[in-house]
Amino acid sequence: MATGLQSVIASTVHMEAGDVYSCGRDLLEGLKSNRPDVLLLDMQLPDIGGKELAETILKQYPEVRIIVLTSLEATHHVEEMIQIGCMGYLLKSTADYSRLIQAIEQAYSGEVFLDDTLQKQLLANIMKKRKQGEDTIAQLTRREKEVLRLITDELTNQEIADQLCVSVRTVECHRLSLLHKLGAKNTAGLVKKAIELRLTK
């Protein structure tokens, strides 16, 4: 497959094919002396995970634009790789040569490229999460929302009680209710959920 990709890129007038590496360590060593404008990265190399490898490369060589070329279709992989700074995500199963060239061109221009199939999946996930968020928010009482906002502001139970003119025991009850309704295990989990549901100030 790597040979085929090299041939396609080499046959494109405005592109030049670079080196091919079979493992992460060889890639990191090669980048010390030869850095491409756009790097096609497989998520499943034998020695270093794709996420870890991409993070290392982007930290050391932020100018390199990475396109993930993989068979992993799970949207959480896509979100993860885009969040850390990758410029594209292309599935091996759906990638034809014209889409590959388009992905490289967009990444080179600073635009994010996503496989069509993944775009639809991501949109469906966003809509699902939005619906779940709306349903969760609807379960919270006005006072629970107030307590949650104050928790995200790093106030203690006593400080929250003083601000809301209620007892500490009442605040503790609201906190326990929030943990149950939001499916969180601790304060850090509550804060994370509050951010996801946009309940912070």
Beta partners for residue 49, in sequence order: 44
Tell me the one-letter amino acid at 38.
V
Q: What is the mean pLDDT of the chain?
A: 85
Query: Is-contact 151 160, C-beta < 8 A?
Result: yes
Arithmetic mean of pLDDT, 23-51: 91
In the block, which residue shows the tokens 């989990």?
Answer: 189
Compute the distance between CA of residue 74 and CA of residue 43 in angstroms, rounded to an integer.
Answer: 12
Q: Which of 182, 8, 35 is nearest to 102 (CA)?
A: 8
Q: Percentage of residues in the chain with pLDDT exceeding 70?
A: 90
Compute the distance between CA of residue 149 and CA of residue 141 in angstroms, rounded to an integer.
Answer: 12
For residue 44, the model assigns a pLDDT of: 85
Compute the distance between CA of residue 46 and CA of residue 53 in angstroms, rounded to an integer.
Answer: 12
Segments making up each domain of the chain, as ranges: 2-118, 129-196
Torsion (CA) 65, 68, 74, 77 in degrees, nearest 10? -40
Query: Is-contact 61 35, C-beta < 8 A?
Result: yes
Compute the distance between CA of residue 201 and CA of residue 199 in angstroms, rounded to an integer.
Answer: 7
Looking at domain 2-118, its CATH architecture is 3-Layer(aba) Sandwich (3.40)
Give the 3-state secondary structure of residue 21.
coil
Residues 143-172 have pLDDT tens digits of: 998 898 899 888 999 999 999 999 999 999
CATH class of the structural domain 129-196: mainly alpha
For residue 120, the model assigns a pLDDT of: 73
Which residues, at least 6 apart from 6, have a Cβ–Cβ distance to it below 8 Å?
17, 20
Compute the distance between CA of residue 15 and CA of residue 12 in angstroms, rounded to an integer.
Answer: 6
Residues 51-81 have pLDDT tens digits of: 999 999 999 999 999 999 887 767 777 888 8
Give the number of residues written for the chain: 201
Secondary element (H or E) of residue 6: helix 2-10
